[in-house]
Amino acid sequence: MIPILELKTQYAEIREEVERAVCEVLSRTHYILGPEVAAFEKEFAEWNGAAYGIGCASGTDALVLALKAVGVKPGDEVIAPPFTFMATAGAVSSIGAQPVFCDIQPGSFNLDPAEIEKLITPRTKAIEVVHLYGHPADMDPILEIARKHHLKVVEDCAQATGATYHGKKVGTMGDAGAFSFFPSKNLGCAGDGGLVLTNNADVDERVRCLRGHGSRRKYFHDELGTNSRLDEVQAAVLRVKLRHLERWNEKRRAVAAKYSEHLKGFVTPPPVAPGCQHVFHQYTLRTTRRDEMMTYLNEKGVGAIIYYPLALHLQQVYAAMGHKLGDFPVTEKAQDEVLSLPMYPELNEGQIEQVVQTVKDFHSQPVQAG
């Protein structure tokens, strides 16, 4: 069996380093907002080339804090793709703001800059960009639209830690970037964790205030915030893993290159746009025989999963928005065709070969896909 994701091999590789770091935190007994979080915030910001990093409790909270800190308020509209994980739009809704869905680009899985402007209204406050599966969205035209219309840009980087767009790391191009350290992510901790990245001192200050109950001075509260902190144990784990991340992302790219080399002609491999460095949180291909192929792979012991089977505009939770099938044709085509294969840095040659061979076995002859 080759699972879609396996964390034990990686843990074995770094076990001594992680356990030493965690034990130090345990014996130090400074568990919340101590030296590990401060050091990780600084190291992660530097690693990405950003001025500030603010740890928080999850990627979802990072989105909420980032959106609030750039000024999104109840009643505001935020343009976001419907082809993403629920948290992208859920964060907007949880503030009392309105997600406004915008289709993705054909030949990509990210927001289509050509579709954004027609959705802008006097209530639009921000564009929420998702770098889905680890591939950067097309930031230049999106940033240009934002500048023209005085909109904020929040990057959902949950799946894309380390990905670059024309040399710039994701999360450093908009007003704020939100990261998730959920264990399955490219940089994952041993529980939940998240972080907001920004180059703006005011956004940094506001996120720090909001994550600690809206307080700038202990027991004095300026606005309604929340309790959302990265803890010391998680920060210690993340500091160890950050030192390996570049190498792990390279390995993911090497696995993806092998999959794509051997599978083109059978399926449509994931695209990589010029000037972009993909970090392959997922290796997500397209095929018109998706459901059949997933069943076959799973029966043969190869993990294969659909991220995501139902786009957000068609979810029950957003029924009141009144969307219907056909509203976002590019998203809906992706929803029907995507299939993710096993992807993690530790996949070995034999496993890659087995995945490739099983996909080839499924196709008795090459098919026109995509």
Ligand X SMILES: Cc1ncc(COP(=O)(O)O)c(C=O)c1O
Task: Considering the complex, state which of residue 158 and residue 256 has its C-beta at the smaller distance from ligand X.
Answer: 158
User: Binding of ligand X at residue 340 (CB under 6 A)?
Assistant: no
Report how far apart the first and last C-alpha atoms of the chain are (Å, whole number): 27
Pick from 156, 231, 232, 337: which binds ligand X (CB under 6 A)? 156
Report in angstroms how near the CB of residue 154 gets to ligand X at its nearest.
11
| Residue indicated by tokens 């069996």 | 1
Question: Residue with the closest Cβ to ligand X?
Answer: 59
User: Binding of ligand X at residue 282 (CB under 6 A)?
Assistant: no
Region binding ligand X by CB under 6 A among candidate stretches 19-27, 52-60, 72-80, 322-330 = 52-60
Region binding ligand X by CB under 6 A among candidate stretches 25-33, 80-88, 266-274, 356-364 = 80-88
User: Binding of ligand X at residue 151 (CB under 6 A)?
Assistant: no
CA distance to 93, 132, 253, 343, per residue, from 249 (Å) = 32, 15, 6, 11
DSSP letter, residue 264: B
Q: Which of residues 230-259 bind ligand X (CB under 6 A)?
A: none
Question: Could you give the CA distance from residue 152 to residue 174 in angstroms, rounded to a whole number?
Answer: 7
User: Binding of ligand X at residue 87 (CB under 6 A)?
Assistant: yes
Region binding ligand X by CB under 6 A among candidate stretches 119-127, 153-161, 259-267, 333-341 = 153-161
User: Binding of ligand X at residue 85 (CB under 6 A)?
Assistant: yes
Please answer whether residues 196 and 53 qualify as being in contact, where contact means their C-beta atoms are separated by less than 8 angstroms: yes
| Residue indicated by tokens 């040659």 | 349
Pick from 84, 98, 105, 198: which binds ligand X (CB under 6 A)? 84
Pick from 22, 66, 130, 276: which binds ligand X (CB under 6 A)? 130
Q: Which of residues 194-213 bind ligand X (CB under 6 A)?
A: 194
Assigned token pair, 366: 């090459």
Pick from 37, 67, 88, 304: which binds ligand X (CB under 6 A)? 88
Task: Considering the complex, state which of residue 188 and residue 342 has its C-beta at the smaller distance from ligand X.
Answer: 188
Give the chain's largest Cα–Cα span: 69
Question: Could you give the CA distance from residue 324 to residue 264 in angstroms, rounded to a whole number?
Answer: 33
Pick from 109, 182, 248, 280: which binds ligand X (CB under 6 A)? 182
Region binding ligand X by CB under 6 A among candidate stretches 18-26, 84-92, 229-237, 360-368 = 84-92
Question: Could you give the CA distance from residue 66 to residue 204 in angstroms, rounded to a whole number?
Answer: 9
Residue 359, Cβ density class (10 Å: 0-12 exposed, 13-18 middle, ≥19 buried): buried
Q: How many residues comprise the chain?
A: 370
The SS3 assignment for 195 reads: strand
Assigned token pair, 163: 């990905």
3-state secondary structure 78-141: EEECCCCCHHHHHHHHHCCCEEEECCECCCCCCECHHHHHHHCCCCEEEEEEECHHHCCCCHHH
Region binding ligand X by CB under 6 A among candidate stretches 107-115, 141-149, 154-162, 214-222 = 154-162
Question: Could you give the CA distance from residue 109 to residue 195 in angstroms, rounded to a whole number?
Answer: 24
User: Binding of ligand X at residue 284 (CB under 6 A)?
Assistant: no
Task: Considering the complex, state which of residue 59 and residue 266 has its C-beta at the smaller distance from ligand X.
Answer: 59
Pick from 2, 18, 36, 58: which binds ligand X (CB under 6 A)? 58
Task: Considering the complex, state which of residue 305 and residue 356 has its C-beta at the smaller distance from ligand X.
Answer: 305
User: Binding of ligand X at residue 159 (CB under 6 A)?
Assistant: yes
User: Binding of ligand X at residue 60 (CB under 6 A)?
Assistant: yes
Please answer whether residues 181 and 59 qualify as being in contact, where contact means their C-beta atoms are separated by less than 8 angstroms: yes
Report in angstroms how near the CB of residue 192 gets to ligand X at its nearest.
6
Angle between helices 59-69 and 201-211 (to 10 degrees): 120
- Residue numbers of the site for ligand X (CB under 6 A)? 58-60, 84-85, 87-88, 130, 156, 158-159, 180, 182, 192, 194
